[in-house]
Structure 1
């Protein structure tokens, strides 16, 4: 087991600091209130947790012979193939350049108030067999500083756990699902979460950190949900035992609406014991157990919604997608805890290159796992191939989701930028006038009104020009027809 330099510096500084008894007084001043405030956010995906479809060039460059067959499928295999030192050299360049402070300024300018910061466990600790490199936490600290400076809130999102919590490439390790099966893995995750909350969860960060996400997308259908609930409860208990009242974000594990209504609720009296080094002292100094007696408070449920990872969804019309979303949001609004749509996109197909993983095709065109073909993949990585209908449907879907998701405690779009995956790229969508600017600008009638008239629709300049051109063509055509 090896802990990061940043981790060790923090623990060393703790031992040198005199305990401040006043720190035992719990503060709630300045905490982001999900019941009265809205989240308008964007995910900083592909930055500290790299994903092949977000930055395919990074992964292509690692292939020893330039072939797709040798491209590493996730960050674990990326570092394993290159070796830890070369992995660090390449990733540091990526970290330095992919997102910079000016991007935070731009996000604020576009009207967003939150960034979600995905980071893997390997930023903080490595198992003895891990090929990963350290250094990512330095950029978390930069992101916190840049967020504070530019008036943004930040979610810290533990995006990958040891052994993988879902088998997705975005967990760092594709096609594995060993996290809950191995006690050392869950213990290490608890250790890391204790550290994150202790370092970043205190009131000195309340002005900028609006929540700490315990774990991204644990795959409930493939996990023992009783064990997952136990893990969730332990993270809550150890966090509150530290004295923080900041918001703790729990992903729904892809369970149905209302599943969490009566879980993580009411009174809690828990003991957590996750000491890794039994015979000495773990880095948190938590040599014994952590006890917490109290009630659940400031618990937020994170729902993710995509329209493209199921054949039935891919076969829908735009009206079908919107109706499904309306039904879904109605159920979310009746849940007992505040919820945020922490991931969503503009995609209507799964055609973006490597979206389903390196070496895998798309369900939409029948090239993924022998699925039946629905249509052709054309524009997902090339905006010049978007038809007028493609653009209209993309804009319509985005506007509908903005209106519907805004009824909850807010939303966080996935993601800020990619190299070429248009429907997953906020920056490109805004450049193409497909993502509203300002955020409340609408080209289509609101999906929230059953009687929305044309007078309630705000048209943008480009749309008006196209409409006027269409009217002019019709006028000319009718004149010619009258002459003949």
Structure 2
């Protein structure tokens, strides 16, 4: 989790593999379009990384809508009877779908959202994207909304002008990388990403995304590209690490050109369970980062008890050997369903949020909460609503110092919870 810790004193000792993690020391004070003054890191090279911990949020439901998370928005588009974007577009027809989705892209995240992020002292956003953003990669038998590139550039401009570090992620891959998940854009058991044709389409999409970053001023604060979100776990696709990952790395490096400030290229870390992403990368690879997703609600090794959740949050190291820097790019504060009613357990949720932040900032380079906003009447998946409910404070530094969340209670547990 994050805290008032600086980006680990050991950063100074890191090898050249992670040197691009350091920001430019040049910054400027700018006044945003709504009069909010922020310090915007600025460099002619346009890529930067924070000298403190990443404290960010995901912009989920923007370019990939998940019905479970944003049901009202999904209904507005007209697809309440569909489960994913693929089938929604097939139902509406391309022209009507384009209009509906473009209205959504232009309104879901606004300047007001970034103003609020600034007020809460967040410094980064992760933007999940489907491969269909590059419309030339979509097959004749695939159905996805069109026209997203303009809106991606608009969002990057808003984030950049508010001084936010930006991570772009291939969240939905060609052919689908894991089954029965709305975040892939197509809920299906036919997982077909893991073949030569779709690997190449994935590489082509990452090339497209990198060139978009390299050639547009709006993307000046993009410092990281995530290669692939949550591929299937297990050892059934060894060519993911031996074939796709090294090709993806090389394609991004080639597309960004001969720059001294390389983009960070992020892979799901070894702890995710789909292989060692480092194993087949080219010798001398540089500026590589690793993603961890930490949802305690789905970890059967953690007892569903308040003390166990907080103890685990304070002590669970999400960084695998040799995988520095690691970012915890998805997490939340919802336990298993129907446990610990939020209205009756606010103090616990405050402590649990703080404990996760403290732990992630102790062991990793930062975090990005899932999600910034939703349609749910539940702030446990919604950073903005949780802040309004005073579960999440604006002063994260003070929280990590004074919350007491990771103070030792009786025995070796934390937080004094039953």
* TM range, smaller chain: 0.7 to 0.9
Q: Does the C-alpha gap of structure 1 residues 299 and 201 become closer, same or farther in structure 2, counting only changes over 3 Å?
A: farther
8 Å Cα contact 2:351-2:405 kept in structure 1: no
Spell out the pairing of 1:172-321 with structure 2 (5 A cutoff). Answer: 172-201=185-214, 207-221=220-234, 223-242=236-255, 243=257, 244=259, 245-252=262-269, 255=272, 260=276, 263=279, 267-268=282-283, 295-310=284-299, 313=302, 315-321=303-309
Q: Hey, what's the Cα distance between the residues in 2 that align with 1:110 and 1:62?
A: 30
Structure 1 counterpart of 2:15: none
Q: Does 1:103 align with 2:113?
A: yes
Partner of residue 409 from structure 1, selected from 365, 380, 399 = 365
Spell out the pairing of 1:18-37 with structure 2 (5 A cutoff). Answer: 31-33=47-49, 36-37=51-52
Spell out the pairing of 1:362-401 with structure 2 (5 A cutoff). Answer: 376=338, 386-387=343-344, 390-401=345-356
Structure 1 regions of 5+ residues with no counterpart? 1-26, 269-294, 352-375, 458-484
Structure 2 counterpart of 1:144: 156
Structure 1 counterpart of 2:86: 76
Structure 2 counterpart of 1:90: 100
Higher relative contact order (CA 8 A, sep 6+): 2
SS at match of 1:219: coil
8 Å Cα contact 1:261-1:337 kept in structure 2: no
Q: Does the C-alpha gap of structure 1 residues 29 and 141 become closer, same or farther in structure 2, counting only changes over 3 Å?
A: closer
Q: Does the C-alpha gap of structure 1 residues 149 and 344 become closer, same or farther in structure 2, counting only changes over 3 Å?
A: same
Partner of residue 437 from structure 1, selected from 384, 394, 398 = 394
Structure 1 counterpart of 2:20: none
SS at match of 1:217: coil
TM-score, normalised to structure 1, is 0.67
1:393: how far off?
A: 1.9
Structure 2 counterpart of 1:342: 329
8 Å Cα contact 2:55-2:367 kept in structure 1: yes
8 Å Cα contact 2:98-2:145 kept in structure 1: yes
Q: Does the C-alpha gap of structure 1 residues 88 and 205 become closer, same or farther in structure 2, counting only changes over 3 Å?
A: closer
8 Å Cα contact 1:120-1:171 kept in structure 2: yes
Q: Does the C-alpha gap of structure 1 residues 179 and 60 become closer, same or farther in structure 2, counting only changes over 3 Å?
A: same
Q: How many residues align?
A: 358
Q: Hey, what's the Cα distance between the residues in 1 that align with 2:403 and 2:340?
A: 25
1:260: how far off?
A: 3.8
Q: Hey, what's the Cα distance between the residues in 2 that align with 1:261 and 1:217?
A: 13
Partner of residue 46 from structure 1, selected from 53, 58, 61 = 61
Structure 1 counterpart of 2:143: 131
SS at match of 2:397: coil
Cα-to-partner distance string for 1:310-364 (whole Å, 9 max, x where unaligned): 5554x511211222234431x6275442100001111112x3xxxxxxxxxxxxx
SS at match of 1:340: strand
8 Å Cα contact 2:371-2:382 kept in structure 1: yes
Structure 2 regions of 5+ residues with no counterpart? 1-42
TM-score, normalised to structure 2, is 0.77
Partner of residue 56 from structure 1, selected from 46, 64, 71 = 71
Partner of residue 117 from structure 1, selected from 106, 127, 147 = 127
Cα-to-partner distance string for 1:399-445 (whole Å, 9 max, x where unaligned): 00111111211100111101114211011101111112211233731
Q: Does the C-alpha gap of structure 1 residues 223 and 90 become closer, same or farther in structure 2, counting only changes over 3 Å?
A: farther
* C-alpha RMSD over aligned residues: 3.0
SS at match of 1:146: helix
Q: Hey, what's the Cα distance between the residues in 2 that align with 1:215 and 1:440?
A: 31
Q: Does the C-alpha gap of structure 1 residues 332 and 144 become closer, same or farther in structure 2, counting only changes over 3 Å?
A: same
